[in-house]
């Protein structure tokens, strides 16, 4: 009795090719969904209270915007502020924000699902800033 290999007729080259292609497409789709698609965009208004360049290896521009708050009805208690943290990738926008500290500003942002380490700490990337007068 002769033994026959049941896998002898399979074309392994095609299986490896199609499997590799499927993995590359799946990883590429995930990367595009996570890092490339804009989830939301819009404007935020408030007082620019902090803007700095930080990081050990990848220096990124990070800022905080005070959007106002809610006054506690009990006398003598503090007001609760709503602080919005954001990142800036564009050097021209960062230079504009450096001169607007403590002023009322209007920021246009794009929110991503995720971002790379060198793009900033937050998922909110500001791409335009203007002073509100």
**Is residue 14 assigned to a domain?**
no
**Is residue 9 assigned to a domain?**
no
**Is residue 64 assigned to a domain?**
yes
**Is residue 26 assigned to a domain?**
no
Cβ neighbours of residue 114 under 8 Å, at least 6 residues apart? 34, 35, 123
> Could you report the per-residue pLDDT of 70-118, keeping only the tens digit for each?
766 777 666 778 899 999 998 999 999 998 888 899 999 999 988 888 8
> Could you report the per-residue pLDDT of 51-61, keeping only the tens digit for each?
999 988 989 99
Q: What is the CATH number of the domain that holds 127?
A: 2.40.50.140
Residue 105 burial (C-beta neighbours within 10 Å; 0-12, 13-18, 19+): buried
**Is residue 111 assigned to a domain?**
yes
Q: What is the total count of domains within the chain? A: 1
Residue 61 structural domain: 38-131
**Is residue 42 assigned to a domain?**
yes
**Is residue 6 assigned to a domain?**
no
Q: What is the pTM of this model?
A: 0.73
């Amino acid at each position: 009795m002769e033994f026959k290999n049941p896998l002898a007729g399979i074309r392994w080259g095609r299986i490896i090719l199609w499997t590799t292609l499927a993995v590359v497409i799946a990883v590429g789709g995930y990367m595009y969904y996570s890092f490339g698609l804009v989830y939301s965009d819009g404007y935020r208004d408030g007082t620019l209270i902090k803007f700095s360049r930080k990081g050990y290896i990848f220096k990124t521009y990070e800022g905080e915007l005070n959007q106002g708050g809610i006054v506690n009805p009990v006398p003598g208690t503090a007001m609760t502020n709503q602080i919005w943290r954001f990142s800036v990738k564009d050097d021209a926008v960062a230079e504009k924000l450096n001169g607007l500290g403590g002023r009322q500003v209007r920021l246009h942002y794009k929110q991503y699902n995720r971002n790379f380490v060198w793009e900033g700490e937050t998922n909110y990337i500001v791409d335009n800033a203007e002073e509100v007068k």
